[in-house]
Structure 1
Amino acid sequence: METQIMKWALIVTSAGLIGSAMAGSALADTTITVATVNNPDMVTLQKMAGTFEKANPGVHVNFVTLPENELRQKITTDIASGGGQYDVITVSNYETPIWAKNDWLRPMSDLPAAYNVDDLEPTVRKGLSVDGTLYALPFYAESSMTYYRKDLFKKAGLDMPERPTWSQIEEYAAKLTDASNGTYGICLRGLPGWGQNMALFGTMVNGFGGRWFDQDWNAQLTTPAWKNAAETYKTLVTKYGPPGVTSNGFTESETMFSNGQCAMWVDSTVAASYVSDPKVSNVADSVGFAQAPYQKTTNGTNWLYAWALAVPKSAAHPDAAQNFVSWATSEAYIQQVADEKGWLGVPPGTRKSTYESADYQQVAPFSSFVQKAIETADTSNPTADPVPYTGIQFISIPQFQAIGTRVGQLLAGIASGQMSVDQGLEQAQQFTTRIMERSGYTK
């Protein structure tokens, strides 16, 4: 008990130390509004916010929690217009560099030594920076990896390599699909969206040796690499996956794998703690882990994504907001979550110290796979051939949201049999070409 009290005192003290030094009188009855997504880690943050408020008397935290698509729309409108509705916004490594260059975000400078910036995972830190300056601080980060059922592989006499090829994945899926007991060989995202099916499919294209654009920004969506990736994806989801795949995003796939309905699943590393937790996963004792599949190259085969917290230039209370962001992304916050919810409940992927923790390693057999995936995700070299862009499962240009959304819809059409691979990719090529011409990238 004494040790626990000392830990709690340290956390509360750290909450007061992390962030900008602020005069108490200036912060009396200050309410900061935080716009965030409705996922489990953010729900935990809301429950923990009382610690921050205790350490910062007079500062209150109001959360506006929204579904991901609605959140993006609302904060984009607010920040672009300078509305000042939110003091803290939840952004990703896609928006952060773009918005920073638009001068919409406050730089995360003057962070205290206690924050320990050097502890942040280098690839994550780089993705949230412009010219070496951080414009958002990572709350949690993820890459992608392969989950599989060790018991089913053993029964079928199969061995999963540390990094399988997509051809091997297809071979395994064929052998592991068992309609008699409702087991599908593989579950993959099919829900259309640049952050849903295209997150997975973008890495597939990279692994097959493809790219979105050549060096002159000419669209490459009808090349053999794209066609081979699309044919493989279609085979996997239609022959060896569950029905209604176009309704299945990350959450639906995670549920099916945890229920024991999928022999394999390629998706976000953030799910590792969930599928390994016997309280919520029926297959926790039999989950195996491998790196994300590749085919011709490993460049860009595991994605990199971070949910981060940023302070808009239009924030009404920028100092209090940055103080909150610093606390919520600190080592002290991670320790608090570990103490209250256990190490499997901590926000993953952001700090080296999390993966160096013996307590974390003890309950997280996947930790080395996740850290390797995050640290090897090279956004500057995402493809086998040279490209004019950065980013792995997305491209860091404003036009990608529209492009990725439309191509995701066409990919869903291919998966559902509404069109052939050739028809879908030809439409995707034409749409992408028009967008790039209108935006002045090509003539």
Structure 2
Amino acid sequence: MNLTMPLRLTSIAAILAANAAFAETTITIATVNNGDMIRMQGLTEDFTSKNPDIKLEWVTLEENVLRQRVTQDIAAKGGQFDVMTIGTYEVPIWGAQDWLVSLDDLPAEWDKDDILPAIRGGLTVDGNLYAAPFYGESSMVMYRKDLMANAGMEMPEAPTWDEIAKAAEAMTDKEKGIYGICLRGKAGWGENMAFLSAMANSYGARWFDEDWKPQFDTEEWAATLNTYMDLMNNYGPPGASTNGFNENLSLFQQGKCGMWIDATVAASFVTNPTDSTVAEHVGFALAPDNGLGKRGNWLWAWSLAIPAGSDATDEAKKFVAWATSKEYTALVAESEGWANVPPGTRTSLYENEEYKKVPFAEMTLNSINSADPTNPTVDPVPYTGVQFVAIPEFAGIATQVGQEFSAALAGQQSVQEALEKAQALTAEEMEAAGY
């Protein structure tokens, strides 16, 4: 009779129980390759040390690719990701279709009521919060104060497009490789069309009239696109049709742009002397207007959401709560300084005396508060959204329109041809969709 067998079985059972107690759950996080997200990945030891049973796996993608991947996965219920980085466009559409997990049960200390109302409203469906904002943004003018001074000019706090054009001309010195203005040219509904849709609002243009008829055949859109082309062709960098957020950020940091009109979140990267050669010379102004009561600024939040297909929702919620918490903000401030904390999400941040000293804090908040997604245009429209139209069909349509506008910037067709194609394809898609 073998008396050691029960002892061995007992030992094996104890080992299995111990392993089970320390078993890791892996959560896969899809995110965008923006600086704030890269910084977050570098700080996650704080999270994993507090949650040793959770392992993080990152899928970091360029903006257009990220949108495509997460949209395909969630629509097909693929289950590739446990946490998705998505924006103010996707959240209300996907939340209404029950594709996302409600975050209303995050811990009380996470403090949902502290989220800026403009940002929280865009992530809420029928009273339920479906995503937690990692950072919020509008858009504004970032400019070289030294180049403006050399030109004998001063940037107004609230410039017009005419003033922007004059400043771009004055700052351009192509022999020195300095271009008066850098703007998004890369095709994509969240790339060139985010900028151009917001710019169009300030020119009185609309995507659709109140009967959902496309409006690219109007004088307002022609004025928008012609002004954009004039700025880029005369004062912009070469190859602009392939430049998106990251490419223009790099150009500005290298001192090659007199002005850059883009996301407010870029402010910390253009003023960081470690990365930016012009950090000490950067000034800020509101996005331009055209005297019609609307500025060319947008409203957006890159947010963390949990797809309904995740099999690790509890662990995913722990991560989302950590990454979007006040404590994470304090962690970044301690390690990187207050200027580098994720902006645009919490009221408490803009009440913090240390953060108030950051040179772009007030301008960022003013830009966010001046964007109104429920009333984005000069004339009435049937949709919400500032730089997008909050309907499921928009992403596909705007991607195609963005390709036509990018082709015009590359000199492959005229402005008129691009607008005619935009009008035709949008009308066709909307009719097919039942509008």
Same fold by TM-score greater than 0.5:
yes
Q: Is the 8 A contact 2:123 2:131 kept in 1?
A: yes
Query: Aligned to 2:141, what secondary structure does the other structure show?
Result: strand
| Partners of 1:395 and 1:154 in 2: CA distance | 39
Note the 1:185-204 alignment, pairs <5 A: 185-204=180-199
Note the 1:93-242 alignment, pairs <5 A: 93-242=88-237
> Match of 1:22?
none
- Distance of aligned partners of 1:245 and 1:57 in 2 relative to their CA distance in 1, 3 Å threshold: closer
Q: In structure 1, which of residues 398, 415, 421 is the aligned counterpart of residue 415 of structure 2?
A: 421
Say if 2:335 is the partner of 1:329.
no
Q: CA deviation at 1:28?
A: 4.5
Say if 2:54 is the partner of 1:59.
yes
Q: In structure 2, which of residues 279, 296, 308 is the aligned counterpart of residue 284 of structure 1?
A: 279
- Relative to structure 2, which stretch is displaced further, 255-264 or 265-274? 255-264
- Relative to structure 2, which stretch is displaced further, 294-303 or 128-137? 294-303
Q: Percent identity?
A: 51
Q: CA deviation at 1:131?
A: 2.1
Q: CA deviation at 1:85?
A: 2.3
Query: Aligned to 1:63, what secondary structure does the other structure show?
Result: strand
Query: Aligned to 1:323, what secondary structure does the other structure show?
Result: helix
Say if 2:411 is the partner of 1:411.
no
| Partners of 2:333 and 2:277 in 1: CA distance | 23
Note the 1:318-357 alignment, pairs <5 A: 318-357=313-352
- Distance of aligned partners of 1:300 and 1:102 in 2 relative to their CA distance in 1, 3 Å threshold: farther
Query: Aligned to 2:238, what secondary structure does the other structure show?
Result: coil
- Relative to structure 2, which stretch is displaced further, 180-189 or 125-134? 180-189
Query: Aligned to 2:43, what secondary structure does the other structure show?
Result: helix
Q: Is the 8 A contact 2:287 2:295 kept in 1?
A: no
Query: What CA deviation, in whole Å up to 9, does each residue of 1:198-233 have, x standing for no partner?
Result: 111111110001100001100001111100011100
Q: CA deviation at 1:289?
A: 0.6
Structure 1 unaligned blocks of 5 or more = 1-24
Q: In structure 2, which of residues 357, 373, 383 is the aligned counterpart of residue 379 of structure 1?
A: 373
Say if 2:381 is the partner of 1:366.
no
- Relative to structure 2, which stretch is displaced further, 67-76 or 99-108? 67-76
Q: CA deviation at 1:350?
A: 1.1
- Distance of aligned partners of 1:361 and 1:120 in 2 relative to their CA distance in 1, 3 Å threshold: same
Q: Is the 8 A contact 1:121 1:375 kept in 2?
A: no
Query: What CA deviation, in whole Å up to 9, does each residue of 1:104-148 have, x standing for no partner?
Result: 001111222211112111111111111222100001121100011
| Partners of 1:336 and 1:27 in 2: CA distance | 27
Note the 1:11-90 alignment, pairs <5 A: 28-90=23-85
| Partners of 1:45 and 1:154 in 2: CA distance | 37
| Partners of 2:253 and 2:81 in 1: CA distance | 36
- Relative to structure 2, which stretch is displaced further, 45-54 or 314-323? 45-54
Query: What CA deviation, in whole Å up to 9, does each residue of 1:43-79 have, x standing for no partner?
Result: 2222222222222342222222223233222222222
Equivalenced residues, count: 416
What one-letter code is carried by the residue in structure 2 that aligns with 1:365? Answer: P
> Match of 1:272?
267
Q: Is the 8 A contact 1:149 1:288 kept in 2?
A: yes
> Match of 1:91?
86
- Distance of aligned partners of 1:285 and 1:47 in 2 relative to their CA distance in 1, 3 Å threshold: closer
> Match of 2:11?
none
Q: CA deviation at 1:300?
A: 5.5
Say if 2:424 is the partner of 1:433.
no
Q: CA deviation at 1:430?
A: 0.4
With the length of structure 1 as denominator, give the TM-score of the two structures. 0.90
Say if 2:306 is the partner of 1:311.
yes
What one-letter code is carried by the residue in structure 1 that aligns with 2:256? Answer: Q
Q: CA deviation at 1:246?
A: 0.6
Q: Is the 8 A contact 2:140 2:367 kept in 1?
A: yes
Query: Aligned to 1:62, what secondary structure does the other structure show?
Result: strand
| Partners of 2:47 and 2:53 in 1: CA distance | 11
Q: CA deviation at 1:373?
A: 0.7
Q: CA deviation at 1:244?
A: 1.3
Query: What CA deviation, in whole Å up to 9, does each residue of 1:303-353 have, x standing for no partner?
Result: 111111111111101111112111110000110111112222211111122
Q: Is the 8 A contact 2:34 2:246 kept in 1?
A: no
What one-letter code is carried by the residue in structure 2 that aligns with 1:34? Answer: I
- Relative to structure 2, which stretch is displaced further, 392-401 or 38-47? 38-47
Q: CA deviation at 1:186?
A: 1.1
Question: What root-mean-square deviation, in Å, do the aligned CA atoms of Structure 1 and Structure 2 show?
Answer: 1.6
Query: Aligned to 1:147, what secondary structure does the other structure show?
Result: strand
Q: CA deviation at 1:393?
A: 0.8
| Partners of 1:175 and 1:64 in 2: CA distance | 43
> Match of 2:242?
247
